[in-house]
Amino acid sequence: MDVSTYIDAVFADIRRRDPQESEFHQAAHEVLAAIRPVLRAHPEYAEARVVERLCEPERQLMFRVPWVDDRGTVQVNRGFRVEFNSALGPYKGGLRFHPSVNLGIVKFLGFEQVFKNALTGMSIGGGKGGADFDPKGRSDGEIMRFCQSFMTELHRHLGENTDVPAGDIGVGAREIGYLFGQYKRITNRFDAGVLTGKPVGWGGSHARTEATGYGAVYFAQEMLATRGLTFEERRTVVSGSGNVAIYAIEKAYALGGTVVACSDSSGYVVDEDGIDLELLKDVKEVRRARIAEYAEARPTARFSARGSVFDVPCEVVLPCATQNELGRQDAVALVKNGVLAVSEGANMPCTPEAVEVFRDARVLFGPGKAANAGGVATSALEMQQNASRDRWTFEQTEDRLAAIMRRVHAQCRTTAETYGGDADDYVVGANITGFLRVAEAMTAQGVI
């Protein structure tokens, strides 16, 4: 069997069947390109059509979400849940509430989640969901009514051993609370492990809020260490200013870095004295305001609505906003300005062209399915605590998180060296490590 011909045929079939899902195509292409040496070594995976089965979700749900706004007007949104692969455990992945959400976006996120979850070494499959609902500017009452309607439909597909959603963009502790309350009301069960990302007071885990951002920084730290470097005094840029970005900034400071810039959809701020984390939290988490308000309150900062946060010279970049935010031109500018490491806190924030620039320049590049695996790993730790009716301290949970990220990093390097010869190729290492674990389980479980 000619592996290249086979992979090209699989990808062509994906594009033919789902022609409008460009983000899913991008995610699938990255995995398919990386696993070629695996298929040469293990032709049985191709013979059993593991790749084709892995690229097709086990179940795709799309449903109407009607709700009533504060004016008494009926609104209708569209909800999604893609249960992608359960070979390793119950479907696990977040819910995203954002106007950009569509089936292609959810499929790309769910596909990435399969490999990310496999990399953690924990018993969780991959899935993703959400709705094209925008919580920005909505009252708590409107968000509650939307969440209740959303869960009224979704609840029938969930369960601690079936599908366990969490939060994502637009879905934080408030939304998780409303979703869980409706699930409990409908089912008459306090199944704490059916949703993760809950507040600590009623079943949540310490360090879950911080986990994705912390994990991306831990992964960057491990990459830097391979070249005898540390975060100490490293000039760092973080894109975004949401949950992941805020806690990536927090951990970068804890390791001795200096974060000089962050952003939101309206522009970016540069603060040469270092981003004031408490002020940023006040602007984004309390006021829920635009990043420009940070600059207005901070004399040392400047706001720009033009250009890109990636134009700011730095040594470490943590893209923590959204998919495809960092393109080839941004990557070229970063390389020119001396970037050493890029660790993806968001899902697929770097375009394929940007990744190619980083790899050609020998910049340490941690792909999201490895670098931001800390969030889902801590969700799985929350599930463990729920199952045992236990609650760990922040320090216990963070220690587990740090150990998991070190293990993910080590696995990526070992696998990359085994199959590609270059231990620094984390794209190859992450994709192959995740694929092997899922493929072995799928093969063992038969054609299902």
128 flagged as catalytic: yes
pLDDT for the residue numbered 420: 83
> Any known ligand binding at 22?
no
Which pLDDT tens digit goes with each residue over 281-315? 999 999 989 999 999 999 999 999 999 999 999 99
- Taking the C-alpha atoms of residue 255 and residue 248, their distance in angstroms, rounded to an integer, is 11
Residues in the chain: 448
Catalytic one of 107, 128, 198, 284: 128
- Taking the C-alpha atoms of residue 442 and residue 446, their distance in angstroms, rounded to an integer, is 6
- Taking the C-alpha atoms of residue 359 and residue 155, their distance in angstroms, rounded to an integer, is 43
First to last CA, the chain: 24
Q: DSSP string of 57-100?
A: -SEEEEEEEEEE-TTS-EEEEEEEEEEEE-SSSSEEEEEEE-TT
> Any known ligand binding at 379?
yes
- Taking the C-alpha atoms of residue 154 and residue 172, their distance in angstroms, rounded to an integer, is 18
- Taking the C-alpha atoms of residue 134 and residue 171, their distance in angstroms, rounded to an integer, is 10
> Any known ligand binding at 396?
no
As a whole number, the mean pLDDT across the chain is 97
Domains of the chain: 3-54 (no CATH), 59-190 (3.40.50.10860), 211-371 (3.40.50.720)
Residues 6+ apart with CB under 8 A from 329: none
**Is residue 325 a contact partner of residue 309, using CB atoms and an 8 Å limit?**
no
**In the chain, which stretches have pLDDT less than 70?**
none
> Any known ligand binding at 212?
yes
pLDDT for the residue numbered 29: 96
> Any known ligand binding at 369?
no
Residue with tokens 């879950």: 208
At position 34, the amino acid (one-letter code) is A
Which pLDDT tens digit goes with each residue over 369-396? 999 999 999 999 999 999 999 999 999 9
**Is residue 397 a contact partner of residue 381, using CB atoms and an 8 Å limit?**
yes
pLDDT for the residue numbered 90: 98
pLDDT for the residue numbered 1: 74
